[in-house]
Amino acid sequence: MGQRVGVVGAGMTKFVRRANETGKELAWQAAKAALDDAGMTLDDIDCVAMGTAPDAFDGVHMKSEYLADGSGAWGKPYYRTYVGGGTGVFVTIQGWWQVASGQFDTCLVVAEEKMSSVQPHPQGAFITIFDNMIERELGPNLLWIFALEMNRYMQVHGLDKRDIAAVSVKNKRNAADHPAALLGQADITVEDVLNSETLAWPVQRLDVSPVTDGAVAVVLAAEHVAKRTTDKPVWVEGVGWHLDTAYWTNRDLYYPRYVEYAARQAYEMAGIREPRKEIHIAEPYDPFDYKELHHLEGLQLFEKGKAPEAMKDGVLNRDGDLPSCPSGGLLGVGNPIAAAGLMKIAELYWQLGGQAGARQVPGDPKKGVAQAWGDLMQVGTVVVMGR
């Protein structure tokens, strides 16, 4: 479809609880790192796609305009995208359109979030997720939605919390090898997770990825440019995105069908017929441990209710048959909402290019899938990458 597009560079800041840097400075740090990684300067960039979640997090109006300078957009065609947590993968898709269409040959894709600005706690900025007319008066908090979904998922399939907690352990251990990680912990155990404070049953503290500050950037290039820039570009082979109803109380939360529809679009474009066999690495969105499993099922990599078993059997470990979140994910690296999704794209670029260092998945992986989610619980955004 159009020009073939490859990822030729990636960069990111460390993910931290509170950065002194403003959002502009964070965006620049990541964008500069990505350009340096690609061996390019801003002159080599034709357009910029920027992804960042609600203005309310950073607390600035027109966040895209505010971040334009740090995103390298001065004097260039530029736009911002925003689908909540799905943004990090979706902005990659938007960057892909720009190059695949043939209108541009290179695109700098940047994602940033500065969650620490919201006082007293970022939770307050999430309150608007709830309906202003019939939900907010109940005094809800964001954890309710996750707890309600997690409970339903566990109940419908009769799942054991241990197998879910194991995902948090896997990711935090994986993150110990990620230079940008906030929460990497090589010695965490399932008991630690099960003993952590219950916030909104069944959600416990260590099931949750804390929101952080951070930024990530990748450079996309058309095939003829990519081949001049690096001898190992990683191609964007399939993209998909899908939105389900915002009436979240009218659908069964146990299964993310919007992830399935987005995944099918992406797999079809990438020519993938048997995802479980053909995909070597998965980076599903993991703001909570159960979500990774939930999303792996939506991605058609495991049957409904069967991802926890795969966790238990070691399939999802870095040395397993289908490594999932070898980066350490949101649970391990941190969660600056939009940047977290783009971190997964960057991870696939590093993994498939053999550059992931201590996190490298063995066995010469060639195809990966990155997925993000969010909005009002109902967006699925998927990108398939390959060599």
Partner 1 sequence: MFEKLSHPEDVRRVEGHIPIAHRYTPGVAGTAFFEELKEGRFVGARCDACGTTYCPPRIFCERDFEALEIDVKVGPKGTLESFTVGYTGLEGEPLDEPVTVGLVRLDGADTVLLHFLVGEAEPEIGARVEPVWRPKAKREGTILDLEGFKLSG
Partner 2 sequence: MTSRKPRAVPDAPPRVILGPESLSDAQFRTAVGAIDHQVDARYAWDTGVAISRFLQGLKAGEIWARYCRQCRRTLVPPRMFCEECFRPNDRWVRVADTGTVNTFSICYIRWDMVKLDDPELPFVLTLDGIDNMAGFMHKLGEVAPDDVHIGMQVEAVWKPEAERTGSILDIEHFRPRDAKLRKAKAGAKRKPAAKTRKAG
As a whole number of angstroms, the distance between CA 90 and CA 95 comes to 9
Contact string (CB under 8 A) for partner 2, positions 122-141, x = contact: -xx--x---xxxxx-xxxxx
Count of CB atoms situated within 10 Å of the CB of 276: 14
At 362 the three-state DSSP class reads coil
Pairing of strands 234-243, 281-283: unpaired
Tell me which residues in 217-246 interact with partner 2 (CB under 8 A).
225, 227-232, 245
CB of 269 to partner 2, least distance (A): 26
CB of 138 to partner 1, least distance (A): 12
22 touches partner 1 (CB under 8 A): yes
Instruction: Please answer whether residues 347 and 233 qualify as being in contact, where contact means their C-beta atoms are separated by less than 8 angstroms.
Output: no
- Identify what 189 binds: partner 1, partner 2, none; CB under 5 to 8 Å per kind: none
Tell me which residues in 90-119 interact with partner 1 (CB under 8 A).
116-119
**Structure token pair of residue 88:** 């990090």
As a whole number of angstroms, the distance between CA 250 and CA 234 comes to 40
Match 């895209």 to its residue by tokens: 64
**Structure token pair of residue 267:** 């797999």
Please name the residues in contact with 231: beta carbons below 8 A apart, sequence gap of 6 or more.
none
As a whole number of angstroms, the distance between CA 232 and CA 349 comes to 10
- Identify what 158 binds: partner 1, partner 2, none; CB under 5 to 8 Å per kind: none
| Burial bucket for residue 199 (CB in 10 Å: 0-12, 13-18, 19+) | middle
CB of 336 to partner 2, least distance (A): 11
State which residue, 356 or 361, has the beta carbon closest to partner 2. 356
28 touches partner 1 (CB under 8 A): yes
The residue within the footprint of partner 1, chosen from 39, 65, 136, 249 (CB under 8 A), is 136
- Identify what 105 binds: partner 1, partner 2, none; CB under 5 to 8 Å per kind: partner 2
Tell me which residues in 289-348 interact with partner 2 (CB under 8 A).
346
State which residue, 36 or 268, has the beta carbon closest to partner 2. 36
**Structure token pair of residue 205:** 């503290």
Stretch that binds partner 2, among 96-104, 277-285, 286-294, 356-364 (CB under 8 A): 356-364
As a whole number of angstroms, the distance between CA 90 and CA 80 comes to 11
Phi-psi region of 6 (alpha: psi -120 to 50; beta: other; left: phi over 0): beta
Stretch that binds partner 1, among 71-79, 174-182, 184-192, 202-210 (CB under 8 A): 71-79
As a whole number of angstroms, the distance between CA 159 and CA 156 comes to 8
125 touches partner 1 (CB under 8 A): yes
Of 243, 325, 235, 310, give the one whose Cα is nearest residue 276: 310
As a whole number of angstroms, the distance between CA 322 and CA 320 comes to 6
364 touches partner 2 (CB under 8 A): no
Contact string (CB under 8 A) for partner 2, positions 29-68, x = contact: xx-xx--xx-x----x-----------x--x---------
- Identify what 200 binds: partner 2, partner 1, none; CB under 5 to 8 Å per kind: partner 2
Match 């992931």 to its residue by tokens: 356
The residue within the footprint of partner 1, chosen from 127, 143, 200, 243 (CB under 8 A), is 127
The residue within the footprint of partner 1, chosen from 18, 205, 224, 232 (CB under 8 A), is 18
Tell me which residues in 238-257 interact with partner 1 (CB under 8 A).
none
CB of 367 to partner 2, least distance (A): 18
